[in-house]
Structure 1
Amino acid sequence: MQPVAYRLESAWQPDGGPNGCFTFTLFNLSEAPLREFRLVYTSLTRVIDADACKNATFLRRNANFHEFAPPEGLTLQPGEGWSFTVGGLHRQARHCTDGAKSAYITLSDGRHLPVAISDLLLEGETSEPPAVRLLAGRLNLPFALQPWPAMIDALPGEGLPVVLYPAERSRPEDVRAASEVLALFHRLFPGSHAPFSLMPSGQGRPIVFAKNGDLEPEGYELHFSSGEIRLDYASSAGRQYGLTTLAQLLHGARTDSSKFRFLASGSISDRPRYGWRGCHLDVSRQFYPTADVMRLIDVLAWFKLNIFHWHLTDDEAWRLEIKAYPTLTTLGVLRGPDEPLLPQLGNGAEPVGGFYSQDEVKAIVAHAAGLHVEVVPEIDIPGHSTAALVALPQLADGQEAPESYHSVQGYPNNALNPAVPLTYEFLEKVFDELVELFPSRYVHIGGDEVADGSWLASPLARRLMEEEGLSGTFALQSYLLNKVKQMLTARGRMLVGWNEVAHGGGVGAEGTLLMAWENPKVGIELAREGYDVVMTPGQAYYLDMAQADAWQEPGASWAGTATPAHTYAYEAEGEFPEELKSRLKGVQACIWSEHFLSRDYFNHLVFPRLPAIAEAAWTPAEKKDWLRFAAIAPLSPML
């Protein structure tokens, strides 16, 4: 490990302007003087007023990328520090993760040198540590089940079988199913005692499999006696969920026998509450290797979640190999000081990239399918398209003024133009390859956060508005998305999007599924307009949100804070009028990756809120119990 040559210390004080200010100090820890340099840092707390910076010259910003010059002639001798303040911020800092996420210096000869960063300190107020996320909990029934089943009527036993195994003369497909859940368990808990064996054991208990067409497709029943366990199921998914329940019961009883028991007798009758039980992962802001994606899918299967919503493209990178456009995964993924995309969200002096080859995608989709998890791809359009536009500049209207509009994240001119003919050729070719890779009936097309004012400085867009009688940005967006829906329908796919797809006239509600993320009321409004809805409100189900107001609690704060108890208690169905409840197709967790700079941050923010959402997706509302959940949640597997 190389010693740290430069370090950036930072603090935020609330009284340094309308939204407070940062104080930065760059320390020279090398053995040589530092002169004629520029400093770059990335931060989600962005500068919008260059004149509010003192003892430094603000040079430029691109989204979260900020570049400064020191006072002219400044030389930092070894051991010295240069301090400057940055005001004019677009919002207040609320958490320790709201400061600089990365930094580097650029020398006059063009070299880029890494700068270590320290945690953001809070000046002028008390810096509170994170709160305890889980209480000790309470169990009325000593069974380790996540999510809790629809019905359980059983007695705990004093002992437990060493293993469970398929009964004699079980069908080959039942034995294979037990093997697959055993493999899932080994991947999630490699150091734990296996719950299943494929061969009989005198210290074990046999599982008798019984196909039962009267059960719901994803439902199952378990009947326990001293001699055997009978698993009734209607489909392979129900069989998997029943076996997963048995694995959880045995694992919990073995892991903590003071709290949990295995069932001696009785039954479990179970089925999911919703058909869409989803979890989203943003791999554009931060890249997750294939092994990590597969690991997350394993975790979803363990919690009986059945949708993996894969957010593959955004402003920061295009992560999916498209053979028709190879520059999407050469120019469209590289972020670095001298790369097509500038550093963002924790990138420093070294370039970073990463994308999924089509072979990797096929492997991930097959892995998920074996666990009854459907992979829904997202290509985020027309906004959030900086990476695509950098990779394919011919998609832009060359007559449009640069920086004629900015997205909410600060990206200039970041939306695919509905008036550029190549836009549609591009999308046709992308969807042709997409449907070959993803057998899912759904394709998510984003449709969110297009800046009001987008394209209005484009002569091509102005002409299209006149020809088609369109008025404003969102009518243009609706024009484009209706063509996108036609493309997907022609390919046998259903359009899924964020709630803004309904703006500007929207697209036809029939055969469209929209996700309500801005707030819960949006979901009800969409249902009234005839759309089917998945509820994923930022206020409860966005797992990048901080879990408490404490300064030392990491995460975002635009939607407030979401404690695990709040996430668990939230009821998506609660405010829906009875006549609209049929439009509510399910719920989904969203993992946005701006703050996920380490595995520790990921696990801290995602758990235990992900299993809390899984329980909302599966367990009947009247069977939910926060204290019971809190007692079981420490058994959750993590990434």
Structure 2
Amino acid sequence: MADYLLEASWSPIEGSFGRLTFTLFNLSTEPLSGFSLAYTSETRVADKHVCDGGSLKRQVAHFHEFLPPEGLSVPPGGRWRFTVEGLTRAPKHMTSGVKSAYLTLGDGRHVSVGFGDLMLEGRDGGVAPPILPPGRAEEPYSLLPWPLALGLKAGELPVVLYPAEPTRPDAVKALSLVLELYQRLYPADNVPFSLSAVEGGRAIRFVIESSIAAFAYELRFTAHEIMLSSADAAGRHYGLISLAQLLHGARADRERFKFPSFGTIADQPRYDWRGCHLDVSRQFYPVADVVRLIDILAWNKLNIFHWHLADDEAWRLEIKAYPALTEIGARRGPDEVLVPQLGDGAQTRSGHYTQQDARRIVAHAASLHIEVVPEIDIPGHSMATLFSLPELVDGQEAPDSYRSVQGYPNNALNPAVEFTYEFLGKVFDEMVTLFPGEYLHIGGDEVAHGSWLSSPLCKALMEREKLTGTAELQSYFLKRIKAMLSERGKKLVGWNEVSHGGGVDRDGTLLMAWEKPEVGIELAQQGYDVVMTPGQAYYLDMAQAEAWAEPGASWAGHAPPEHTYAYEAEGELPEVLREKMRGIQACIWTENFLSRAYFNRLVFPRLPAVAEAAWTPSARKDWDRFAAIVRMWPVL
């Protein structure tokens, strides 16, 4: 039981972002004095604010530290209350409050403080609707994503499926990999496959059919066997997943779902890029969790894992040339170089992936036909990098000359510091040995307006290269980065702001439209290949309903699963630009994910909804059918 508890509430006020009220309860047996209170919250206090009953000592982005009035002593059972007016934005949901808290006592010790949800005062918070309807499956087959074409007749449920004799070793190996995937996702269920014949089972005959499209497959069901035809290993893999799904649904809900006895399935993906992103900078996820998520992506026939490895809050990948990146940049705590953020309390929190971890994750993903696309977010979002390697900073630049939208001061790598390119070259050299895919994501988002304009080195660079403003400086920087990636055989992927200030060469560049759908159209018109990942539909950290009690972020509004499912990214693009659209992607930003329960509530069922939008043609989608099937699908 905590000796101290912090409660927070928010009151709306006309003409402002409202008032926060904090109450610290002393539940210990000793009086409390000579202390400071620190907490982390996405509801940030603005530079211009009024605090009644205390004072703001320090703030770094989401980290706030407050002092009580001089001489205050809180007796056992007593409380200290203070209010703050002057916020950077109004909170919209209960998760917009305190994410962690601790006291620093007079002797320097840090003591944990309990906390709860942000309470709403002075208005009704509304009631959230159910996330999923009961669902209805007019065709009794559990397939998700739904296939391109299907004509089936239901029959007896086989005991298990097994490879017909003879079957090539590579096909047996493919079946065993999907069997292992199923056992990891559903460890308490009976297995769908056996490697040897079983009485009461049905044989799978594998056929290589060169006329079938890449990544596609066909399943033909007869009374005695199932024929799985494909032109490549990926198509075969997707066909096996479909068989496992059909058997799983028929066993899990026998009233609603059946296994086919006759008929065919012809299937292929709608888009090449069917992605899911995970931010491990704000919250660290152990290797086992990353592997589990990749398994879930495979079950949903997604083929890209976008791994967001570095941001302001932490650098998570071991780089042997610069051990300080993880020795300093992967640790946050009251006595660390990086202060607590987004759920860090009195204890230091740390975590990073060794290069061996990265190899293991890449190999696991590859075995499931998933490509890992690593991201090191530059030039902005680089606070952890800059604290780890101070020689990257222009020492003559004023220390608080610009701030990011999240409130970080001077958080962008400096394009005029030549060591920046030496550093990134060595980082890329190590990354290309770990990640064999064709893409490397370099971020490029949210560089603050006014960045570098107080840097004497950048002023000289701008004069020499005839550059004007932050956007053109960023374009100069990213053109050099693109050339460095090209030398290493990699294509550049970035967020949509890479196009600013003149952008980079369109050839071999893929940009992700995240701010709003219209941005994707603009990028395609400029000649870029595009992945659509608009926050309004595909950001899985957004709250799923408007109600105050719903967890999640709110900058892009709220996105109920039905909206995520129904959203048609391609529908926004003129026909002439459709060839520029490579696919779609879900993004899991983790500021709000302080528990496994919050992760699962926000990510599911919206991740499978994005997966079906990425695979299934618009005319074949059916929300009621999806709702009936997805409740049987695995979560983290």
Correspondence for 2:522: 525
Correspondence for 1:203: 200
Aligned match of 1:258 in 239, 248, 255? 255
- Which whole-Å CA distance do the structure 2 matches of 1:413 and 1:90 have between them? 18
What's the offset of the Cα at 1:86?
1.5
Q: Is the 8 A contact 1:49 1:87 kept in 2?
A: no
**Secondary structure of 1:635 counterpart:** coil
Residue 313 of structure 1 pairs with residue 290 of structure 2: no
The 5 A counterparts of 1:234-383 are: 234-383=231-380
Report runs of 4+ in structure 1 exceeding 4 Å deviation: none
The 5 A counterparts of 1:441-456 are: 441-456=438-453
Q: Is the 8 A contact 1:495 1:513 kept in 2?
A: yes
Q: Please give the per-residue CA displacement for 1:97-151, whole angstroms capped at 9, x wherever unaligned.
A: 0001110011111111000111111111123343210001111101111100001
Correspondence for 1:48: 46
- Which whole-Å CA distance do the structure 2 matches of 1:597 and 1:324 have between them? 32
The 5 A counterparts of 1:25-64 are: 25-64=23-62
Aligned match of 1:70 in 68, 71, 74? 68
Question: What is the TM-score of this pair, normalised by structure 2?
Answer: 0.99
Aligned match of 1:404 in 393, 401, 405? 401
Unmatched tracts of structure 2, length 5 or more: none
Q: Please give the per-residue CA displacement for 1:359-381, whole angstroms capped at 9, x wherever unaligned.
A: 00000000000000000000100
**Secondary structure of 1:216 counterpart:** coil
- Which whole-Å CA distance do the structure 1 matches of 2:51 and 2:259 have between them? 63
Q: Please give the per-residue CA displacement for 1:225-259, whole angstroms capped at 9, x wherever unaligned.
A: 11100000111111110000000000000000011
What's the offset of the Cα at 1:197?
0.6
Q: Please give the per-residue CA displacement for 1:168-210, whole angstroms capped at 9, x wherever unaligned.
A: 1111111111110000000001001110011111110000000
- Which whole-Å CA distance do the structure 2 matches of 1:87 and 1:236 have between them? 60
**Higher mean C-alpha displacement, 493-502 vs 108-117:** 108-117
In the superposition, relative to structure 1, how do residues 452 and 49 fare at CA in structure 2: closer, same or farther (>3 Å)?
closer
What's the offset of the Cα at 1:60?
1.6
**Secondary structure of 2:332 counterpart:** coil
**Secondary structure of 2:361 counterpart:** helix
- Which whole-Å CA distance do the structure 1 matches of 2:244 and 2:164 have between them? 16
Correspondence for 1:617: 614
- Which whole-Å CA distance do the structure 1 matches of 2:393 and 2:475 have between them? 19
Root-mean-square deviation over aligned CA pairs: 0.8
**Secondary structure of 1:580 counterpart:** helix
Correspondence for 2:531: 534
Q: Please give the per-residue CA displacement for 1:48-72, whole angstroms capped at 9, x wherever unaligned.
A: 0454111011112100000100011
Aligned match of 1:154 in 126, 133, 152? 152
- Which whole-Å CA distance do the structure 2 matches of 1:570 and 1:111 have between them? 51
Correspondence for 2:481: 484
Q: Please give the per-residue CA displacement for 1:505-549, whole angstroms capped at 9, x wherever unaligned.
A: 000111100000000010000000000000000000000000000
In the superposition, relative to structure 1, how do residues 16 and 335 fare at CA in structure 2: closer, same or farther (>3 Å)?
farther
Q: Which amino acid aligns with 1:141?
A: E
Q: Please give the per-residue CA displacement for 1:22-52, whole angstroms capped at 9, x wherever unaligned.
A: 1110000111110000001100010004541
- Which whole-Å CA distance do the structure 2 matches of 1:474 and 1:126 have between them? 43
Correspondence for 2:437: 440
Residue 193 of structure 1 pairs with residue 185 of structure 2: no
- Which whole-Å CA distance do the structure 2 matches of 1:320 and 1:416 have between them? 18
- Which whole-Å CA distance do the structure 1 matches of 2:52 and 2:286 have between them? 41
**Secondary structure of 2:349 counterpart:** coil
**Secondary structure of 2:220 counterpart:** strand
- Which whole-Å CA distance do the structure 1 matches of 2:29 and 2:11 have between them? 32
Correspondence for 1:555: 552
The 5 A counterparts of 1:421-436 are: 421-436=418-433
Q: Is the 8 A contact 2:125 2:547 kept in 1?
A: yes
Correspondence for 1:182: 179
- Which whole-Å CA distance do the structure 2 matches of 1:22 and 1:623 have between them? 48
Q: Which amino acid aligns with 1:436?
A: T
Q: Is the 8 A contact 2:136 2:624 kept in 1?
A: yes
**Secondary structure of 2:236 counterpart:** helix
Q: Is the 8 A contact 2:49 2:87 kept in 1?
A: no
Q: Please give the per-residue CA displacement for 1:379-403, whole angstroms capped at 9, x wherever unaligned.
A: 1000000000000000000000111
The 5 A counterparts of 1:22-171 are: 22-157=20-155, 159-171=156-168
**Secondary structure of 2:131 counterpart:** coil
Residue 587 of structure 1 pairs with residue 569 of structure 2: no
- Which whole-Å CA distance do the structure 1 matches of 2:400 and 2:138 have between them? 60
Q: Please give the per-residue CA displacement for 1:321-346, whole angstroms capped at 9, x wherever unaligned.
A: 00000000001111001101000001
- Which whole-Å CA distance do the structure 1 matches of 2:61 and 2:376 have between them? 20
- Which whole-Å CA distance do the structure 2 matches of 1:52 and 1:344 have between them? 23
Q: Which amino acid aligns with 2:288?
A: A
- Which whole-Å CA distance do the structure 2 matches of 1:240 and 1:397 have between them? 51
Aligned match of 2:571 in 571, 574, 577? 574
- Which whole-Å CA distance do the structure 1 matches of 2:74 and 2:300 have between them? 54
- Which whole-Å CA distance do the structure 1 matches of 2:413 and 2:245 have between them? 47
- Which whole-Å CA distance do the structure 2 matches of 1:585 and 1:27 have between them? 54
**Secondary structure of 1:52 counterpart:** strand
Q: Is the 8 A contact 1:16 1:87 kept in 2?
A: no
- Which whole-Å CA distance do the structure 2 matches of 1:93 and 1:343 have between them? 21
Q: Is the 8 A contact 2:35 2:103 kept in 1?
A: yes
- Which whole-Å CA distance do the structure 2 matches of 1:635 and 1:156 have between them? 20
Q: Which amino acid aligns with 2:432?
A: V
Correspondence for 1:497: 494
- Which whole-Å CA distance do the structure 1 matches of 2:121 and 2:127 have between them? 15
Q: Is the 8 A contact 1:17 1:87 kept in 2?
A: no
What's the offset of the Cα at 1:155?
1.2
- Which whole-Å CA distance do the structure 2 matches of 1:51 and 1:260 have between them? 59
The sequence identity of aligned pairs, in percent, is 63
**Secondary structure of 1:67 counterpart:** strand
Question: What is the TM-score of this pair, normalised by structure 1?
Answer: 0.99
What's the offset of the Cα at 1:15?
2.1
Q: Is the 8 A contact 2:49 2:84 kept in 1?
A: no
Q: Which amino acid aligns with 1:138?
A: R
Pairs aligned (count): 636
